[in-house]
Amino acid sequence: MSRSISTLLLAALLGWSGSALVPRSVAATTSPNIVIILADDLGYGDLGCYGHPTIRTPNLDRMAAEGMRFTDFYVAACVCTPSRAALLTGRLPIRNGMAGSEQRRVLYSKDTTGLPHEEITIARALKTKGYRTACIGKWHLSGGAPGFLPNAYGFDFYFGLRWSNDMEPAGKMPRNASMHPDPDPAWWSLTLMQDEKVFETNADPHTLTRRYTEEAMKFIRENRKQPFFLYFPHTYPHVPLFASDSFKGRSARGLYGDVVEELDWSVGQVLETLRKEKLAENTLVFFTSDNGPWLVKELAGGSAGLLREGKGSTWEGGMRVPGIAWWPKRINAGAVTHELACSMDLFNTSLKLAGVPMPTDRVMDGVDMSPILSGEGKSLRDTINYYRGGELWAVRQGAFKAHFQSAPGYGSPGNPLKFEKHETPLLFNLANDPAERFNLAKDHPGVIAGIQRVVEQHRASLVPGTPQY
Amino acid sequence: MSRSISTLLLAALLGWSGSALVPRSVAATTSPNIVIILADDLGYGDLGCYGHPTIRTPNLDRMAAEGMRFTDFYVAACVCTPSRAALLTGRLPIRNGMAGSEQRRVLYSKDTTGLPHEEITIARALKTKGYRTACIGKWHLSGGAPGFLPNAYGFDFYFGLRWSNDMEPAGKMPRNASMHPDPDPAWWSLTLMQDEKVFETNADPHTLTRRYTEEAMKFIRENRKQPFFLYFPHTYPHVPLFASDSFKGRSARGLYGDVVEELDWSVGQVLETLRKEKLAENTLVFFTSDNGPWLVKELAGGSAGLLREGKGSTWEGGMRVPGIAWWPKRINAGAVTHELACSMDLFNTSLKLAGVPMPTDRVMDGVDMSPILSGEGKSLRDTINYYRGGELWAVRQGAFKAHFQSAPGYGSPGNPLKFEKHETPLLFNLANDPAERFNLAKDHPGVIAGIQRVVEQHRASLVPGTPQY
């Protein structure tokens, strides 16, 4: 259904008047290109410009020096599938059935569902303004059934893996294969897709970052004369780690560093292509990660820097990630913003920049980040919801964060976490204490009560979507 | 004795030939100015350019963007007194009696000693080339007896506190006064010195950073026509914390942040003065800290970022600190170096730049950092010794660090630490694992044996100085 959805039908879904259906030529001259580069499991502390001592990321550091670095950028979920669903739709995963649960945190190949087709992705919204759209890299918003790949959600082009790179095992492998310091590619059998077809089986995992990058550069060059939206979700540094020959063994940080340094190279290639094609001044590029570092993978996982815990947890390390925005002449070079922002805001911001009105038939959770990017205003966001599966574990309001439940790390069915429900929520002042060391609950019962009211309002109006997995 | 030490006598001490005694006018045109700015207890993770999310340090970030940021810069001891002794003399504190012990880690006002007078400080060495020299700020290389203040060690001018700002209590104060979020200045009675005289009693602690800065700017302006060495060791962010009215309440990080942001302002004032006086291109400025963050002071202490532990410990957080070098047109703007360096290297580097030969009558522990600063070469250093008091607890060789003993944090006589001696040393690969999470001792017995040989050589040739406290 969704691939053939007509522009008019979509306009109706979005609640548009006819005036939104502007001619493509106008759109082409007024609508900026939008590129979202998403790393997988990259931690808050893993880039040079975020303080990592040994991983060298000169291209991302330069992107930050030429653009804006966010210190308080969040994702909407602490694992892959829901985080990606939220980024692309501007909605909390709990609303669209993509939140998962404690037992089923992400989609697997055996699942027969995916992102509900009535969801509006950035791609679908921008297509109404004549944008060419591509998803290059890891999708992870579908199970194995057909009809749930990017082309079903507004993407003209798709090239990449459907899921995480550890999700197509090839039979026998040693224990802890995914965190092996030098994994054997034969332990997995990766299927590269192009659009809805299998493009290659047993794809060489060493080549993914390079091939994704080549496809991204090609897409940019081929669409230089019209607005485009490139969603570029990398496979790495999710385990198992593989770098190309040019990067393997290059980083002091070992294989994890090699892989991040190759991603950094990739970002440099994208920005350089935009410059060469004279598109830089008409393109917003945003770099971020889908969740925090997978700490239980030890040296094959990343670092959250000074933040507590990592992927899978609702501590800061699980959900606060690097965020770098780049748009020469539109974003002040070298800016650092401490404003609150979330990956869901990329939806609102993209639509705003493209001149596409926001959907009016559904609850949206993003806000427009333009005031932050222009340096002219404050964030329109004052709350971050920290969902773990379908449950709201913590809420940040301004500088304060209350934890209603907590647990360390990722956990798995075989290695369950020790959950703790907090009768009196834990309370941290993230401005003063970003590492969440000092519980202030006793000192600020009023703050907790205020956050609890926000939670009650959120819950009262919440209509959870039908769980898709 | 030392204030009146003649240039010729000093030349003899330094092992010079007569040719080193160049005319002052030549020195003035060929010798760069050297400014060392030392923060007190500032952690590796406390600056924006080292990844802190809420402390705003635009001047230090700009200093790094215009200069060189070190990721692997160390001090020679994990507490104040020995760290400063090493920085100024280029020698391990164990050699000159300044190492202290587990029971007596720093000098106190009741002590009647100080840095031995036969030690050669950077100031004394540079005076032989006609440098004007000043120490502005916290000294902490003397007890309360006269004759051990900066003027006794080659400094023409001194203005500041003799010790830490918590070391002159004014009688009654509440428990944990030093870590109070809004301490009362009346709890301490600070004595400001100028040269060897009391300049002011009951000095207002809110004014120290501002007044030090004014003195530093005045010293620079007054000495603009000749080479100068400015040693500028700040009192803060050592507890108790006090910021001036312009900074108090300004930082999201609370009082600790206010104090660091005022230090950042101070650095900006120094660099701006150098620019205004057209001295920037003839001045090396180096910013660093004396040891890691004092973690037991909780919110009144800083952050080591992703590094383990803080002040007082021989884990990385105790001894790896921010290091930023600035010298327009001589240091490449925006450089980040991962080369190994230590505060003792400032001695050798300063002498090299000033054209002063190294002393030949004593063992030196610094190396010349010029190859790093010029971007032309590798570090001449491959070892870091982690002393705690008079004992060598750990050694880094290249990327590997072996711990022979370890303990968390600072400790005090009333709150002793749990020391652990390691029969088999702990071994960490700091390039791969900067947070010291994964002990590799079992995998690399050869590396441990190699480090043990280095330790044996060091110990075999070591002649400890007479302990001064």
In the residue annotation, B422 being an active-site residue is answered as: no
B425 touches chain A (CB under 8 A): no
Handedness of CA A87, A91, A92, A94 (dihedral sign): negative
A165 touches chain B (CB under 8 A): no
At residue B21, what is the residue type?
Answer: L
Residues in A closer than 8 angstroms to B56, CB to CB, are: 336, 338
- Residue A59, pLDDT score: 98
Between A265 and B22, the higher pLDDT residue: A265
Distance CA B209, CA B266 (A): 7
CB A227 within 8 Å of CB A32: yes
- Residue A419, pLDDT score: 86
Give A103's pLDDT tier (boundaries 50, 70, 90).
confident
Nearest Cβ partner of A54 from B71, B437, B438? Answer: B71
Q: What is the pLDDT of residues A400-425, one digit of tens each?
A: 999 999 987 666 666 667 789 999 99
Between B104 and A446, the higher pLDDT residue: A446
Nearest Cβ partner of B338 from A252, A430, A433? Answer: A252
- The gap between the terminal CA atoms of chain B, to the nearest Å, is 21
pLDDT at residue B12 greater than cutoff 50? no
Contact: A252, B305; criterion CB under 8 Å = no
Give B15's pLDDT tier (boundaries 50, 70, 90).
very low
Backbone phi and psi for residue A402, each to the nearest 5 degrees, phi listed first: -110, 130
Question: Among residues 222-281 of chain A, which lie with CB inside 8 Å of chain B?
Answer: 252-254, 257
**Cross-strand pairs, A383:** A397
Distance CA A436, CA A424 (A): 16
CB A119 within 8 Å of CB A87: no
pLDDT at residue A465 greater than cutoff 70? yes
Residues in A closer than 8 angstroms to B49, CB to CB, are: 51
> Are β-strands B420-429 and B400-406 bridged in parallel, bridged antiparallel, or unpaired?
antiparallel
What residues contact B432, with CB distance under 8 A and at least 6 apart?
A54, A252, A253, A254, A257, A299, B399
Catalytic residue, from B140, B234, B238, B403: name it.
B140
At residue A74, what is the residue type?
Answer: Y
- Mutation choice for B interface testing from A44, A54, A324, A444 by most B CBs within 10 A: A54
What ipTM goes with this model?
Answer: 0.91
Distance CA A402, CA A406 (A): 10
Judged by average pLDDT, the poorest of A26-40, A118-132, B67-81, B125-139 is A26-40
A52 touches chain B (CB under 8 A): yes
Q: What is the pLDDT of residues B279-330, one digit of tens each?
A: 999 999 999 999 999 999 999 999 999 999 999 999 999 999 999 999 999 9
Q: What is the pLDDT of residues A221-257, one digit of tens each?
A: 999 999 999 999 999 999 999 999 999 999 999 999 9
- Cα angle for residues A232, A234, A238 (degrees, 5° grid): 155
- Residue B71, pLDDT score: 98
Q: In A195-281, which ranges are E strands?
A: 197-203, 228-233
Rg of the Cα atoms in chain A: 21
> Are β-strands B68-74 and B320-326 bridged in parallel, bridged antiparallel, or unpaired?
antiparallel
Distance CA B307, CA B270 (A): 29
**Cross-strand pairs, B73:** B321, B341
- Cα angle for residues B321, B325, B328 (degrees, 5° grid): 165
pLDDT at residue B462 greater than cutoff 80? yes
pLDDT at residue B17 greater than cutoff 60? no
Residues of A with a known catalytic role: 80, 140
At residue B361, what is the residue type?
Answer: D
Q: What is the pLDDT of residues B360-404, one digit of tens each?
A: 999 999 999 999 999 989 999 999 999 999 999 999 999 999 999
A48 touches chain B (CB under 8 A): yes
B355 touches chain A (CB under 8 A): no
> Are β-strands A68-74 and A341-342 bridged in parallel, bridged antiparallel, or unpaired?
parallel
Contact: A298, B71; criterion CB under 8 Å = no
In the residue annotation, B140 being an active-site residue is answered as: yes
CB A177 within 8 Å of CB A240: yes
- Residue A418, pLDDT score: 78
> Burial level of A80, CB count in 10 A (0-12/13-18/19+)?
buried
Q: What is the pLDDT of residues B148-176, one digit of tens each?
A: 999 999 999 999 999 999 999 998 899 99
- Residue B303, pLDDT score: 98
Distance CA A124, CA A130 (A): 10
- What are the C-alpha distances in Å from A156 to residues A248, B127, B202? 33, 72, 73
- Mutation choice for B interface testing from A55, A306, A429, A436 by most B CBs within 10 A: A306
DSSP state string for B195-206:
TTEEEEEEE-GG
Residues in A closer than 8 angstroms to B306, CB to CB, are: 45, 51-53, 303-306
Nearest Cβ partner of A432 from B49, B254, B304? Answer: B254
CB A366 within 8 Å of CB A85: no
- Residue B56, pLDDT score: 98
Token pair in block for residue A218: 């090609």
Token pair in block for residue A334: 């070298």
Q: What is the pLDDT of residues B216-239, one digit of tens each?
A: 999 999 999 999 999 999 999 999
Nearest Cβ partner of A51 from B45, B437, B438? Answer: B45
* % chain A with pLDDT above 90: 89
Q: In A164-319, which ranges are E strands?
A: 190-194, 197-203, 228-233, 283-289
Contact: A305, B45; criterion CB under 8 Å = yes
pLDDT at residue A26 greater than cutoff 60? no
CB A266 within 8 Å of CB A254: no
A336 touches chain B (CB under 8 A): yes
pLDDT at residue B13 greater than cutoff 60? no
The packing angle between helices B255-276 and B208-222, to 10°, is 10
At residue B223, what is the residue type?
Answer: N
CB B63 within 8 Å of CB B285: yes
Q: What length is written for chain A?
A: 469
CB A139 within 8 Å of CB A160: yes
Distance CA A355, CA B294 (A): 51
Q: How many CA atoms, within 13 angstroms, populate the side-chain half-sphere of residue B154?
A: 26
- What are the C-alpha distances in Å from A40 to residues A17, A103, A411, B132? 38, 21, 18, 55
Distance CA B295, CA B268 (A): 27
CA distance A226 to chain B (A): 36
At residue A186, what is the residue type?
Answer: A
Residues in B closer than 8 angstroms to A338, CB to CB, are: 53-54, 56, 252
Residues in B closer than 8 angstroms to A61, CB to CB, are: 336
* % chain A with pLDDT above 70: 92
Contact: B433, A299; criterion CB under 8 Å = yes
pLDDT at residue B10 greater than cutoff 70? no
**Spatial CA neighbour of B326 closest among B368, B268, B277:** B268
